[in-house]
Chain A
């Protein structure tokens, strides 16, 4: 290296500073004169610094002892209280902190107060010499030449083709990471089983809900009947099937054509899975009849069939058609009329096949 331009012939630096070359600049006065510290001149100060370092190292020993005592003396037992754990955690923290900070600050203080603090200047060496560069370039040229890859395009091209294809198996072996999606996302547990309509039950205990339990202004977190009895894939089903149940004054609802019968006496059920990225839309604003997703604040208006009125969601929440069975319990008359949850590439296809 040595000079500004790193040996390159076009000295762009001069261009960059053009117009100022004639102006005389301040000369670099060099490294400022070294100033002695108190500990350099006064043996008492040096002794004091030495003692301070020793005290800090001593503090570290105390910290280690605190840690060991906290670890062995505090018994968590079988039913440890939060307070005991908190105390032990704090003491382990204090112990470790003292042990580490004692060593750390001690060493740094030692370095700053007692070790020589003369600033030294060292030459930078070139990352590589011009000699090396030329030799290396020549070696690379020779290697390329000796392979003959330039003269034998057949070899080069077949090699390129082979290398380009070779990683494909590495991708393909990941094919069993998961099953094909097929239409799994378009069905939920709400579909009637063997002609029997599924009851709406409370989340999480699974007790069925009577229409008469749902008073105006109330909201229920709902799961389908039978969810809790599932042995496998319970969370997968729950992640699609959770529903919010609310009752409004029937006059406040404005059902569109074909959806007049989806509610019962002002009771309506909507998917709880946000159409944005799938968080549970868990907040019901009773006065305004808005549903709010706490993750990204998408807001849905119950009085307009959960149309999006604010936030990043783009689609209304799907509605679950409900009715009342002979015993007065709420049931779903069918599955959702569209896939629930966040959008995905094949969603429209699935929606069309559900509706047809």
Chain B
């Protein structure tokens, strides 16, 4: 190849130094194909696309700060007497793990900063993964062909939580020790294998002397490796599918409209990494997170009131709190064939999380089955244009938030001066009715927003200019939209319920009937996009429309 290029004069000679350098590398490893493919690849731009980037960047920051911490952290549970520079704990008996965490905080320059960066980045990582998934859900980005990537995202969420929890326990302080104790209690409630699992995990009785080093191996090796693998898969699929885009003029399922990767998109995305880093650094510099020196070493006897787990574990902890152990004379713990079934622990620990993740993983297929929509979708839905899906999402989100709030039931009680028991009773009620209320309200709001869109598309926007007509009537002048803005409001597809279809034998089976019912439920309330004919008709009796007689021509 190089011999050939010496013989022929190259058609294009690099004009910049970087270009020549690229040429040099390319002649040796041959990356021009990749560069040609990606160098100008178009990426759509929207603020909501940044959540995934935040997640990726906080993971990078986690790797960087975490590596630093491993140089100083010692995951041993051997007993030692603290000899570091934090006076209140001088000579206190503690584990080596806790002692080395204190050393990182007080005797390693910048160690406290790194710990805080690591913890804040972890909280942000899980949060941004979660918010990114909400964005993907509410805009319908999980639809074909991206269902598998949605599943990979769900796995990443679970791994992020696992990474968080294993790391949270490492300093072996009082707070995280009590967290482990709760985990131990939950594990022991598992039928048949629970006791053994607990003994195997802790290397004997709780707390034992093995758990910290075991969690450490998981935290710095297994879990991050899996996360990295999933991220690679995730990004690979993003490249294969290309990015989705929001609906709007010029955007459709066959094109991608946006900025080329180089230079604009790469600059924005690359610059954004530094912004995420900067924000995390600010938080780490000014807001104390997990001040382990205040908690003291782990001891099974003391506990501080008002303690909270990290936010992403909150919903499980809240569910544990909400579950009554006894109702009337019925005990949720009972003996079955001489063995103990601890439903008051088992149900709240496993069932809500189980339901949330099962629905999360299967939702793309559920919706595809109901709608029979097997097309590829690259243009996103505005959440209002898929009212039932949006309502389902908000219902699930509400359910999650009720449990999450329950994890702070004691703090709610003390901060708002209400009875702790009442807070629990209310949250128990909301646990059951909250999702239904949220569903109904969200669906109405979404439909109302769609009607508003129609109104604006047909009658223009309110200008706030009040005009008095010759006969004395006051009207507000509406300004018509330009065609681009209008298309944003009308350029969506409003699916109608799909009646039951006979299968290949010409029979409408029971499953299909059930599907048709769900389809009816999914699409019965809908607002169709405005049409040119309606706009024409509206212009016919222009004055009436402008006079604000809300003439709604909805097929509802």
Taking Cβ atoms with an 8 Å cutoff, the residues of A that contact B are: 1-2, 4-6, 8, 10, 12-13, 15-20, 23-26, 28-32, 71, 76-80, 82, 85, 88-94, 96-108, 110-112, 115-117, 119-124, 127, 174, 177-181, 184-185, 203-204, 221, 223, 233, 235-236, 238-240, 242, 272-274, 276-280, 282-283, 294-298, 308, 310-315, 341-349
* B529 A342 Cβ-Cβ under 8 A: no
A279 touches B182 (CB 8 A): yes
Q: How far is the CB of A111 from chain B (nearest CB, A)?
A: 4
Residue B312 interfacial (CB < 8 Å) = no
Say whether A108 contacts B267, CB under 8 Å.
Answer: yes
Q: A18 — which chain B residues lie within 8 A by C-beta?
A: 496, 498
Q: How far is the CA of A40 from the CA of B211 in the complex (A)?
A: 61
Q: Mark B264-308, 1 if CB is under 8 A from A, else 0.
A: 100110111111111101111110000000000011111111110
Contacts of B495 in A (CB 8 A): 16-17
A57 CB, min distance to chain B CBs, angstroms: 11
Contacts of A279 in B (CB 8 A): 178, 181-182, 185, 303
Nearest CB in chain A: distance from B104 CB, A? 11
Chain B, range 312-344, C-beta contacts under 8 Å to A: 317, 320-326, 331-333, 335, 338-340, 342, 344
Task: State in angstroms the CA–CA spacing of A28 and B491 once bound together.
Answer: 8
CB-CB under 8 A from A88, the residues of chain B are 109-110, 112-113
Mind listing 26 A-B residue pairs with CB under 8 Å? A2-B254, A4-B253, A15-B501, A25-B532, A26-B487, A29-B249, A32-B249, A79-B87, A88-B113, A89-B285, A92-B110, A92-B113, A92-B285, A93-B281, A101-B275, A117-B259, A117-B264, A121-B255, A127-B241, A235-B298, A236-B207, A242-B301, A278-B206, A313-B325, A345-B193, A346-B340
Residue pair A17, B496 in contact (C-beta under 8 Å): yes
Convert B427-466 into 0s and 1s, putting 1 for each residue whose CB lies closer than 8 angstroms to a CB of A. 0000000000000000000000000000000000000000
Closest Cβ of chain A to B138, distance in Å, is: 20
Q: Is the C-beta of B74 less than 8 angstroms from some C-beta in chain A? A: no
Which residues of chain B have C-beta atoms less than 8 A from A235's C-beta? 207, 298-300
- With most chain B CB atoms within 10 A of its CB, the pick from A30, A80, A122 is A122
Q: With the chains together, A132 CA to B107 CA distance in Å?
A: 61
Minimal beta-carbon separation of B93 from chain A (angstroms): 9
Which residues 200-250 of B have a CB within 8 angstroms of A? Answer: 200-208, 210, 240-242, 249-250
Please report the C-alpha to C-alpha distance between residue A233 and residue B307 in the assembled complex, in whole angstroms. Answer: 27
When the two chains form their complex, are residues A296 and B320 in contact, meaning their CB atoms are under 8 A apart? yes
How far is A236 from B206 in the complex, measured between Cα atoms in Å? 6
Known: A96-B285, A108-B267. A181 touches B195 (CB 8 A): yes
Interface contact A30-B249, CB-CB below 8 Å? yes
Shortest 8 CB-CB distances between A and B: which pairs? Answer: A93-B285, A277-B185, A104-B274, A107-B271, A31-B250, A101-B278, A100-B278, A104-B275
Chain A residues near B333 (CB, 8 Å)? 314-315, 343
Task: Evaluate contact between A19 and B496: CB separation under 8 angstroms.
Answer: yes
Bound CA span A346–B268, Å? 59
The chain A residue with its CB closest to the CB of B182 is A277
B269 to chain A, nearest CB (A): 9
Could you say which of A31, A93, A103, A277 contacts B186, with CB atoms under 8 Å apart?
A277
Q: Contact between A23 and B342 (Cβ–Cβ < 8 Å)?
A: no
Chain A CB within 8 A of B348 CB: yes
Please, how many angstroms separate the alpha-carbon atoms of A327 and B381 in the complex?
80
Partner of A104 from B189, B278, B421 at Cβ < 8 Å: B278
Residue ID in chain B nearest A233 by CB atoms: B205
Across the interface, do A90 and B286 meet the contact criterion of CB distance under 8 Å?
yes
Binds A, one of B160-168, B368-376, B382-390, B394-402: B368-376
* Chain A positions within 8 Å of B326 at CB level: 308, 314
B42 touches A120 (CB 8 A): yes
Point out the residues of chain B lying under 8 angstroms from A105, CB to CB: 271, 275
Bound-state CA distance A184–B199 (Å) is: 10
CB of B116, distance to nearest CB on chain A (Å): 7
Query: Contacting B110 at CB < 8 Å: which of A71, A103, A223, A312?
Result: A71
CA distance A78 to B99 in the complex (A): 16
Q: Please indicate the chain B residues that have their CB under 8 angstroms from the CB of A85 in the complex.
A: 105-106, 112
Given known pairs A4-B375, A26-B487, A223-B301, the reply for A178 and B255 (CB within 8 Å) is no
A343 CB contact (under 8 Å) in B42, B268, B345: B345
Do B206 and A297 touch (CB < 8 A)? no
User: Known: A119-B258, A120-B259, A276-B345. Is A236-B208 also a contact (CB below 8 A)?
Assistant: yes
In the complex the two chains form, what is the Cα distance from A282 to B299 in whole Å?
Answer: 13
Contact A239 B205 (CB under 8 A): yes
Q: Name the interface residues of B118-162: CB closer than 8 Å to any CB of A.
A: 144-145
| A91 proximity list for chain B (CB < 8 A) | 285
Q: A15's closest neighbor in chain B, by CB?
A: B498
Closest CB in chain B relative to A129 CB, distance in Å: 14
Question: Measured between C-beta atoms, what is the minimum distance from A253 to chain B in Å?
Answer: 21
The chain A residue sitting closest to B413, CB to CB, is A297
Known: A4-B375, A297-B420, A345-B340. 7 other contacts (CB 8 A): A88-B109, A120-B260, A124-B253, A240-B205, A277-B182, A312-B321, A346-B340
Q: How far is the CB of B56 from chain A (nearest CB, A)?
A: 15
Contact of B182 with A348 in the complex, beta carbons under 8 Å: no
Report whether B116 and A89 are in contact in the complex, using a CB–CB cutoff of 8 Å.
yes
In the complex formed, the residue of B with least CB distance to A175 is: B200
Residue among A101, A185, A294, A312 making CB contact with B344, cutoff 8 Å = A312
What is the distance, in angstroms, from B249's C-beta to the closest C-beta of chain A?
5
B490 an interface residue at 8 Å Cβ cutoff? yes
Residue numbers in B under 8 Å from A277 (CB-CB): 181-182, 184-186, 189, 320, 345
For B376, the chain A residues whose CB sits under 8 A away are 1, 4, 6
Within 8 Å CB of A119, what residues of B?
A: 250, 257-259
B68: interface (CB < 8 Å):
no
Q: Is B271's CB under 8 angstroms from A28's CB?
A: no
Question: Closest CB-CB distance, B273 to chain A, in whole Å?
Answer: 7
Beta-carbon nearest neighbor of B343 in chain A:
A314
Selected from B87, B301, B371, the residue in CB contact (under 8 A) with A272 is: B301
Cα of A92 to Cα of B331 in the assembled complex, Å: 54
Is B194 engaged at the interface, CB distance under 8 Å to the other chain?
A: yes
Is there contact, CB below 8 Å, between B277 and A96?
yes
- Given known A23-B533, A28-B250, A28-B252, contact A344–B42 (CB-CB < 8 A): no
A111, B268: Cβ atoms under 8 Å?
Answer: yes
Inside 8 A of A115's CB, which chain B residues have their CB? 263-264, 267
> What CA separation (Å) do A28 and B528 show in the bound complex?
17
B8 beta carbon closer than 8 Å to chain A: no
| CB of B18, distance to nearest CB on chain A (Å) | 15
